[in-house]
Amino acid sequence: MQKQSLLKRSTLAVAVMAAMAFVGSPAMAEVTKADILNDAKTTNDVVSFGLGTQGQRFSPATQINTKTVANLVPAWSMSFGGEKQRGQESQPVIANGKMFVTASYSRLFAVDAKTGKKLWKYEHRLPDGIMPCCDVINRGAALYGNLVIFATLDAQLVALDQDSGKVVWKEKLEDYAAGYSASAAPIIANGKLITGVSGGEFGVVGRIDARDPMTGKLLWTRPTVEGHMGYKFDASGNKMDNGISGTTNATWTGDLWKTGGAATWNGATYDPETNLIFAGTGNPAPWNSHNRPGDNLFSCSTVAIDADTGKIVWHFQGTPHDGWDFDGVNEFVSFDFKDPKTGKIVKAGGKADRNGFFFVNDRTNGKLLNAFPFVKQISWAKGFDLNTGRPMYNMENYPGDPAAGADGKKGASVFAAPSFLGGKNQMQMAYSPQTNLFYVPSNEWGMDIWNEPVSYKKGAAYLGAGFTIKALHDDYIGAMRAVDPATGKIVWENKNYAPLWGGVLTTAGGLVFYGTPEGFLKGVDAKTGKELWSFNVGTGIVAPPVTWEQDGEQMIAVAAGWGGAVPLWGGDVAKRVNYLEQGGSVWVFKLHKAK
């Protein structure tokens, strides 16, 4: 009896100790809808692309500030390894002490955020026939529950267990053999997984999808080319009519809308105050504008989509009847705008468009509040009419119609600025509610462009244009600019010899961080632009930095590796920077502690 009693006590003690150990070391906390909605306000993690669904890329962290940033030193660096270098455009996400960062060729790494130790790696098996337009890049992953979810170059979505790296579900977005691909970071909007598609140069049809993030089940889909039908899906997966996108043939001729482009290749932002998803749409297909009379909705636009129904609530088209490949995919960043005319605070959004103009729209209805150049040379339009919301074209700057040429093979060439790589491209800007300024990575370049005959063939390039990109200045192409959305003034600028192709981070510490193709991660004063710190990571930076706090220390992280569209499409500009070296790694920095 005594032995049995002792045995029971011993067993009970072990059970209690195990329970205490469990309490002391809880299971990994799942990333919730509330975590994502609060991401912009918290400093202990980064659980969304954009450091908050509105995309401001502003952190309230202050430990690293204008006085301490000079003491920033490397904490660790991890190589992505192998020969799969190319461009690294990923924004890391961090939760529960783990960093999740994607890399070229559809790879995903889980890393101990404190030490840089690789925990696991997933390498997606890519088919030989993939057709990515602009390098084999990936821009990041989404976190939800215990999953980390990212898109692949063969147009699939993959969800993996955060702890083990095992595939939980996998879904096909579209047929890669038809030119579809995917590289944008998904986002979570009101508990739904939001994704887009790439492939505008192959005559695909752009769209935004909403899925159940835990299962991958499609909830609704919204095409972004006028004339196509959207759908919702019931609990059994049955299609339900969700309304046509616009009116068939209203802004497209004949059957051209069926291969209309408008790819949503740079992802989306989400504003919980209006429950709207804001997606930028790419170029209409083909580039040869003479093949497709009309405005070609909803290409080169911002579309505002109801997160629950998938319906387009409003749209704003930055470049109607685009003739220069001025994709309108750049991010729409929600912010509170003080109208200089009325003094009233307006729920607004800002967008630095590829076409060289910065737009401020009322995010509740799309009304154009302000439009001004953020680059110094624009040839295609004189400006925008704020009453109509339409550009005032320089019609002589449209590339000529090949059919009007003597041989019918090449239209008249024009010089246009900016180039089709844009006043700003995929690199994400930041907004500081402290300074009320946007920090825009800009580029000054132009191009000779001409049109050529073209017809659609599934899986083949669908351009109908030729081009040569040229620098406008000998001493710089890139310029980091602080822009006032109310006045349209450039408050300060930092010029850069090579094009800027990486995103921006701003903080409550009064700082702006950004990288350069020459390999420097820079920290500058948010009010003046004065450079306060820099570090050379040894390869070009074309990704956005992030910051978070861990064990009482503020950290800065950035993926590094030169590549992207510039060395592939840059013409004379690509030759100008062909000395830059590729790489593949993630770097983390923190303040040096004096011993």
- pLDDT score recorded for residue 10: 37
Residue bearing the bigger pLDDT, 330 or 575:
330
Domain boundaries, the chain: 46-57+87-591
pLDDT of residue 15 exceeding 90: no
Q: Do the bridges between strand 531-536 and strand 333-338 make them parallel or antiparallel, or are there none, so unpaired?
A: unpaired
Share the mean pLDDT of the chain: 93
pLDDT class of 275 with cuts at 50, 70, 90: very high
Query: Which whole number is the average pLDDT over 542-569?
Result: 96
pLDDT of residue 475 exceeding 90: yes
- pLDDT score recorded for residue 517: 96
511-527 tens-digit pLDDT? 999 999 999 999 999 99
- pLDDT score recorded for residue 464: 95
pLDDT class of 264 with cuts at 50, 70, 90: very high
70-110 tens-digit pLDDT? 999 999 999 998 778 899 999 999 999 999 999 999 999 99
Rounded-to-integer distance, Cα 78 and Cα 81, Å: 9
Which residues are part of the catalytic machinery?
325
- pLDDT score recorded for residue 40: 97
Helix (H, G, I), strand (E, B) or coil at 366: coil
Query: Which whole number is the average pLDDT over 433-457?
Result: 97
pLDDT of residue 261 exceeding 70: yes
Are the beta carbons of 402 and 451 closer than 8 angstroms? Answer: yes
pLDDT of residue 408 exceeding 90: no
Query: Which whole number is the average pLDDT over 574-593?
Result: 92
Q: How far is CA 195 from CA 209, 212, 307, 427, 535, in A?
A: 5, 11, 12, 18, 34
Question: What superfamily does domain 46-57+87-591 belong to in CATH?
Answer: Quinoprotein alcohol dehydrogenase-like superfamily (2.140.10.10)
Are the beta carbons of 231 and 252 closer than 8 angstroms? Answer: no
pLDDT of residue 447 exceeding 80: yes
Please give the angle made by the CA atoms of 329, 333 and 338, to the nearest 5 degrees.
135
Rounded-to-integer distance, Cα 539 and Cα 547, Å: 21
Q: Which residues of 142-172 are buried (b: 16+ CB within 10 A; e: fewer)?
A: bbbbbbbbbbbbbbbbbbbebeebeebbebe
Residue matched to tokens 């045995």: 7
**For 294, which DSSP code?**
S
Q: Do the bridges between strand 368-373 and strand 357-362 make them parallel or antiparallel, or are there none, so unpaired?
A: antiparallel
pLDDT of residue 3 exceeding 80: no
Q: Write out 165-198 in H/E/C secondary structure.
A: CCEEEEEECCCHHHCCECCCCCEEECCEEEECCE
pLDDT class of 8 with cuts at 50, 70, 90: very low
119-167 tens-digit pLDDT? 999 999 999 989 888 899 999 999 999 999 999 999 999 999 999 999 9
pLDDT of residue 390 exceeding 50: yes
Are the beta carbons of 150 and 138 closer than 8 angstroms? Answer: yes
pLDDT class of 242 with cuts at 50, 70, 90: confident
pLDDT of residue 361 exceeding 80: yes
- pLDDT score recorded for residue 595: 63
368-385 tens-digit pLDDT? 999 999 999 999 999 999
pLDDT of residue 5 exceeding 50: no
pLDDT of residue 553 exceeding 60: yes
44-68 tens-digit pLDDT? 999 999 999 999 999 999 999 999 9
pLDDT of residue 564 exceeding 80: yes
Of the candidates 29, 62, 57, 72, the residue with the CA atom closest to the CA atom of residue 520: 72
Cβ of 231: how many Cβ atoms within 10 Å? 17
- pLDDT score recorded for residue 195: 98
Residue 33: Cβ-neighbour burial (10 angstroms; 0-12, 13-18, 19+) = middle
Range list of β-strands (E), 88-196: 93-95, 98-103, 107-112, 118-123, 142-144, 147-151, 156-161, 167-172, 187-189, 192-195
Percent share of the chain, pLDDT over 90? 87
Percent share of the chain, pLDDT over 70? 95
